[in-house]
Structure 1
């Protein structure tokens, strides 16, 4: 008989709050209210909708200071987007690394409503030469990992102008309700297809620059060594999510009836492409079989999948794996690349169950 599944959020850190979606409960396409994962670097800032302003500065033709009412008066858009923390699955790395020890649940999907960043940039007007758009959060503090910051810093990340104009959303609602404090009230960015660190919460400012942004969370953190051509590896900011499939059920350590059919289920996602296939291995990676995709393809949204497994008659331990392929032809690597450090963990994750 299958074990029961917990539905409460998994606490990975109390202060600041870092909470994980219990991935084994995956059922609906949208993550249930109150279960969307929470990633925080600093305490939640205390912000008032009445006093809050979004300041657009830098290489603009006319600097702007917008109220929440100003944004609500603009034409709204609603998009469904899967967000994943760049450190999701960190607990699977060997040897262990620093950082929040995420298991499977630093990933979730929601409907986001707000104003396209492109509309705000158009209102402000761009001067010639803009390269990057810096998203500035109101959360701030002092960090000690990966290196000690020289003082109080704010959470800030940039996106290239082309991405900013393409599909970045300034969201004030989540699943039809105003953002909660933990998810960025009153306004946050949603950067579809990119790891969650780019979707800055508690937005207070947007700054246009003609030079690459060199902030802490762009260079010293949320970056990795990228090998490109014959030159030495270069430190590169994290951006697009990498292709990945995860098994939701059976959960690791679950007891499964020997000799009986079992529906293995999960979800798969990628960055700027679409999931085209998922394969499941029930023998630790020796052989693979196609799973059925149960959601239609949609950019920037996970696709749920299922695989009907006929469990062996012989009791004992069995290790299951899943891997995905996307429309760009990318498939999950068999091992974690050392240059990725504690981020972009995309090798097939082992789920060991007990047959009885």
Structure 2
């Protein structure tokens, strides 16, 4: 019901959003002699802010066309190395001729960056990708939005996530390095442990964990504390909704991205309100550079994806409530 109401609100606001876009175009047109007047700037800024706040934010673009190595601009293209309905393993392929001009002739080590599946897209890590491209063959997990995966594709839970990580490491071959950013830490460590136990040649050469909740009992964040304060049944009753039509995953039970976004923003609501107020002031004052930086940040921040019910609830249970991995009880 919550998801349906959210979508209904989006469509109800469509006429106002269209009017705001027309107003924005009118007061930004070079043919409008009054566009630089205080009234014109105020109307343009107000319309632009409303249009941006009420529009739908899709999957952001990576925007990585090249990377500078040893003073040479090396072209980069994205290749799908492997995929399932739930993830695309994306390889950022560096142009071999450009690499030769940069003096890089030896084969670079491969690194798998496991992006978090916690509400935002993997593009949040584009700067991390750019940094690793200096010296590595970079692969990253680009997770799917659960609302776009048909119900016929089945479930996707914590253990499926672990299996996906294991399969990707195996396909990248021996001596691949793995970097787990935030949420995927427990699953990556578990996958590597299973691969080591099996003597799997695809087990990683090294593991790096960045801000991962390997043991959520230590240095608890606001998220950790919420998971401890609320019973498991509360999350199932209050945080899960059903994907409505016309999405491909209609009927799937999910933890909606917009709920996660509201949770993020509510922790720093005054900060976000101040940021939008400054953006409005920048537009009215003609400060295009500051306004552009605001848009770049929020175009990424407001782009969210849904998680499957089973993955979200199992993560809450296994990682943040029972702490099964650090206690040696995860099966």
- Which TM-score band applies after superposition, normalised by the shorter structure? under 0.3
More strand per residue: 1
Structure showing greater Rg: 2
More helix per residue: 2
Q: Which has the higher contact order (CA 8 A, sep 6+)?
A: 2
User: What is the TM-score normalised by the length of structure 2?
Assistant: 0.24
